[in-house]
Chain A
Amino acid sequence: MSELVETVPSVPPPSLAEPRPRVAAALADDAQLIEACRRGEARAMEVLYHQYKRRVFGMAHRIVGASDAEEVAQEVFVRIFRALERFRGDSALSTWIYRLTVNASLSHLAKRGRRHEVGDDSLGELPAPPALERDHGLAARIEAGLAQLPPGYRAILVLHDVEGLSHEECAQILECRVGTCKSQLHKARARMREILGPDIHGERGGKDRA
Chain B
Amino acid sequence: MSCEDVRPRLTGYLDGELDADRGSVVRGHLRECAACRQVATDEAALRDGLRQLPHVDPPPSLWAGVQARLAEAEVADARRPAWRRALTRWLPSAPRFAAGTLVAATAVGVLWWRSQRGPDGDVATQPEPTAIATAPTTPRMSQTHVVVASDRGEPDVTADLAGEAGRVTASYGDAAEELLALAGEVRGQWTEEQRTAFDARVAELRGTIASAADGHPRQRAWRDLIRYLQNAVVRDEIAFAGGGQ
Stretch with Cβ within 8 A of B (4 or more), from A6-14, A94-102, A108-116:
A6-14
Contacting A at CB under 8 A, from B9-44, are: 10-18, 23, 27, 30-32, 37, 39-44
Contacts of A122 in B (CB 8 A): 224, 227-228, 231
Tell me the smallest distance from the CB of A199 to a CB of chain B, in Å.
Answer: 10
Q: Per a CB cutoff under 8 Å, which of B18, B51, B236, B242 touches A14?
A: B18
Size bracket, chain B contacts: 35 or more
Complex alpha-carbon distance, A10 and B37, angstroms = 9
Query: B227 and A143: CB pair below 8 A?
Result: no
- Are A142 and B56 neighbours in the complex by a CB distance under 8 Å? no
A93→B23 CA distance, assembly (Å): 34
Asked if residues A11 and B63 are in contact (CB atoms below 8 Å), the reply is: no
Contact B201 A129 (CB under 8 A): no
Q: Would you call A78 and B69 a contact (CB within 8 A)? A: yes
| A193 CB within 8 Å of chain B | yes
Q: Check A126/B51 contact, CB under 8 A, given A17-B16, A81-B70.
A: no
Q: Is the CB of A53 within 8 A of B58?
A: yes
Q: How long is the Cα–Cα vector from A79 to B39 in the complex, in angstroms? A: 41
Question: Which residues from B are CB-within-8-Å of A75?
Answer: 69
Q: Which residues of B contact A203 (CB under 8 A)?
A: none
Asked if B52 CB lies within 8 Å of chain A CBs, one says yes
Contact check, A8 vs B62: say whether CB atoms are below 8 A apart.
no
Task: State the CA gap A178–B232 with chains docked (Å).
Answer: 43
User: A interface, how many residues as a size bin?
Assistant: 35 or more
Q: Does chain A have a CB within 8 A of B83?
A: no
Once bound together, how far apart are the Cα atoms of A8 and B191, in whole Å? 52
Are B30's CB and A74's CB within 8 A? no
- Give the nearest-CB partner of A18 in chain B: B51
Looking at the assembled complex, report how far the CB atom of A7 sits from the nearest CB atom of chain B, in whole angstroms.
7
Could you tell me if B15 and A17 are in contact, using CB atoms closer than 8 angstroms? yes
Cβ of A161 and Cβ of B62 under 8 Å apart?
no
Contact string against B for A residues 108-134, beta-carbon threshold 8 Å, 1 for contact and 0 otherwise: 000000000000101101111111101
The yes or no answer to B46 lying at the interface (CB within 8 A) is yes
Residue of A nearest to B228 (CB): A122
Inter-chain contacts of A127 with B (CB < 8 A):
191, 193-194, 197
Chain A residues, CB < 8 A from B235: 126, 128-129, 132
- Residues of A6-58 at the interface with B, using a CB-CB cut-off of 8 Å, are 7-8, 10-15, 17-18, 20, 46, 49, 53-54, 56-58
- CB-based contact A8/B31 at 8 Å: yes
Q: Top 4 nearest A-B pairs by Cβ distance?
A: A14-B16, A161-B50, A57-B58, A131-B242
18 additional A-B residue pairs with CB within 8 Å, beyond A14-B23, A82-B70, A126-B197: A4-B31, A14-B18, A53-B62, A53-B63, A54-B56, A70-B59, A78-B66, A78-B70, A120-B231, A122-B227, A128-B235, A129-B194, A162-B50, A164-B51, A183-B8, A192-B46, A200-B49, A205-B45
What are 28 A-B pairs at a CB distance below 8 A? A11-B44, A12-B14, A14-B13, A14-B17, A15-B16, A17-B14, A17-B16, A54-B57, A61-B56, A70-B62, A70-B223, A86-B92, A120-B227, A122-B224, A125-B197, A126-B201, A129-B236, A139-B53, A142-B49, A157-B50, A162-B53, A164-B51, A182-B12, A189-B46, A193-B39, A193-B43, A201-B42, A205-B45
Q: What residues of chain A have their CB less than 8 Å away from a CB belonging to chain B? A: 4-5, 7-8, 10-15, 17-18, 20, 46, 49, 53-54, 56-58, 61-62, 67, 69-71, 73-75, 77-78, 81-82, 86, 120, 122-123, 125-132, 134, 138-139, 142-143, 157, 161-162, 164, 167, 182-183, 185-186, 189, 192-193, 196, 200-201, 205
